[in-house]
Amino acid sequence: METSDRPGRLAVGVLGAGRVGSALGAALAQAGHRVVAAAGVSDASGRRAAERLGVSLSPPDEVIRRAELVLLTVPDDVLPGLVAGLAAAGVDLRGKMLAHTSGAYGLAVLDAAVGRGAIPFALHPVMTFTGRDDDLRRIGGCSFGVTAPEQLRPVAEALVIEMGGEPVWIADPDRPLYHAALAQAANHMVTLIAESQELLKKIGVDHPGRMLGPLLGASLDNALRLGLAGLTGPVVRGDAGTVRKHVDALILAAPEAADAYVALARLTADRALAAGLLKPEAAERLLDALGGNSWT
């Protein structure tokens, strides 16, 4: 049986044929669904629609008219206006499955469309997409934060599985905290690593990435396998003198980085203290080294 002849195959439309939309649309096509239309506003979107999805760009109302499942893969700030605009324009949304891919939003952002008969899903891939050819491969095995009306949970989870992902149910009220946790880990990690590379360059290290790579790889492995028990370094050892030297050096070299170091060192010490990895007296010495006068 050809994949397109399997029962339950859907006509798929993509509103926002960018990095995410083109990758997810291609993943659904690999599962036997049929991408019938896509919308976008840039030349890059047009190229991705043609190369990844095999379609040319169409107006949003045409995409919805032709599709049964519509991926809303636009930036977070654009999503509410897009949904409101479709509803206000009188686009026929009856029976259309609308799946947005925002991590921060839940189902409420689709309320205007639901009021006109649409079926809401929130399917957020926990992955970064670069627009390169390996985006589709990265979907395989990655988690998706899934939120849907309870009776439609099996449908939402099945779509993720068909794309090669792993569905993880996120209750609707928990979506903002869920997304904050992901951004804290992934986005801020990039900022911290980039800052560390710049500091090493300042003192003449020619290849900071090469220096940091093995250390960061081991640290990430420890964190994922062991949690806080994998913590190493001067804070968990209670080396207040070393921590003070770090702060002083950063104040001179990069004052903006010093504030971040102090905030993260406080958080690290607080977590280590609560986990019994750091003694209270050592925590007090660290607090003094970090310029504080009360432990919170």
Q: Looking at the structure, tell me whether residues 135 and 186 fall in a common domain.
A: no
Q: How many separate domains does the chain show?
A: 2
Instruction: Give the lowest-confidence range in 60-74, 127-141, 166-180.
Output: 127-141
Please say if the pLDDT value at position 292 is more than 90. Answer: no
Q: Looking at the structure, tell me whether residues 30 and 162 fall in a common domain.
A: yes
Q: Looking at the structure, tell me whether residues 244 and 118 fall in a common domain.
A: no
Model confidence at 132, pLDDT cuts 50, 70, 90, reads confident
Q: Which of 104, 139, 170 is the last residue of a domain?
A: 170
Q: Looking at the structure, tell me whether residues 259 and 145 fall in a common domain.
A: no
- The string of DSSP letters for the chain reads --GGGSTT--EEEEES-SHHHHHHHHHHHHTT-EEEEEE-SSHHHHHHIIIIIS--B--HHHHHHH-SEEEE-S-TTTHHHHHHHHHHTT---TT-EEEE--SS--SGGGHHHHTTT-EEEEEEESS---SSTTHHHHHTT-EEEEE--GGGHHHHHHHHHHTT-EEEE--GGGHHHHHHHHHHHHHHHHHHHHHHHHHHHHTT-S-HHHHHHHHHHHHHHHHHHHGGGG--SHHHHT-HHHHHHHHHHHHHH-HHHHHHHHHHHHHHHHHHHHTTSS-HHHHHHHHHHTT-SS--
pLDDT above 70 coverage of the chain, percent: 96
Q: Which of 137, 170, 203 is the last residue of a domain?
A: 170
Please say if the pLDDT value at position 6 is more than 70. Answer: no
As a whole number, mean pLDDT of residues 119-146 equals 92
Q: Quick check: is 210 in a domain?
A: yes
Q: Quick check: is 185 in a domain?
A: yes
Please say if the pLDDT value at position 296 is more than 80. Answer: no
As a whole number, mean pLDDT of residues 105-116 equals 98
pLDDT, tens digit, 9 for 90 and up, residues 208-221: 999 999 999 999 99
Q: Which two tokens stand for residue 157?
A: 């989870």
Q: Looking at the structure, tell me whether residues 188 and 212 fall in a common domain.
A: yes
Question: Rounded to whole angstroms, how far apart are CA atoms 4 and 81?
Answer: 34
Please say if the pLDDT value at position 261 is more than 70. Answer: yes
pLDDT of residue 294: 41
pTM of the shown model: 0.87
As a whole number, mean pLDDT of residues 215-232 equals 96
Q: Quick check: is 131 in a domain?
A: yes
Model confidence at 2, pLDDT cuts 50, 70, 90, reads very low
Q: Quick check: is 294 in a domain?
A: no
Q: Looking at the structure, tell me whether residues 161 and 25 fall in a common domain.
A: yes
pLDDT of residue 1: 35
**Which among 228, 230, 204, 235 is positioned nearest to 215, based on CA atoms?**
230
Please say if the pLDDT value at position 13 is more than 90. Answer: yes
Q: Looking at the structure, tell me whether residues 65 and 211 fall in a common domain.
A: no
Q: Looking at the structure, tell me whether residues 89 and 153 fall in a common domain.
A: yes
Q: Looking at the structure, tell me whether residues 163 and 204 fall in a common domain.
A: no
pLDDT, tens digit, 9 for 90 and up, residues 182-207: 999 999 999 999 999 999 999 999 99
As a whole number, mean pLDDT of residues 154-183 equals 97
pLDDT, tens digit, 9 for 90 and up, residues 19-78: 999 999 999 999 999 999 999 999 999 999 999 999 999 999 999 999 999 999 999 999
Q: Quick check: is 228 in a domain?
A: yes
Please say if the pLDDT value at position 3 is more than 80. Answer: no
Q: Looking at the structure, tell me whether residues 71 and 200 fall in a common domain.
A: no
Q: Quick check: is 296 in a domain?
A: no
What is the average pLDDT score of the chain?
93
Q: Find the domain containing 43 and state its range.
A: 3-170
Q: Which of 122, 137, 170 is the last residue of a domain?
A: 170
Q: Quick check: is 295 in a domain?
A: no
Contact between 30 and 79 (Cβ < 8 Å): no
Q: Looking at the structure, tell me whether residues 17 and 161 fall in a common domain.
A: yes
Q: Looking at the structure, tell me whether residues 191 and 166 fall in a common domain.
A: no
User: How many CA atoms lie within 13 Å of 51's alpha carbon, on the beta-carbon side?
Assistant: 13
Q: Quick check: is 90 in a domain?
A: yes
CATH code of 86's domain: 3.40.50.720
Please say if the pLDDT value at position 245 is more than 50. Answer: yes
Model confidence at 80, pLDDT cuts 50, 70, 90, reads very high
pLDDT of residue 5: 52
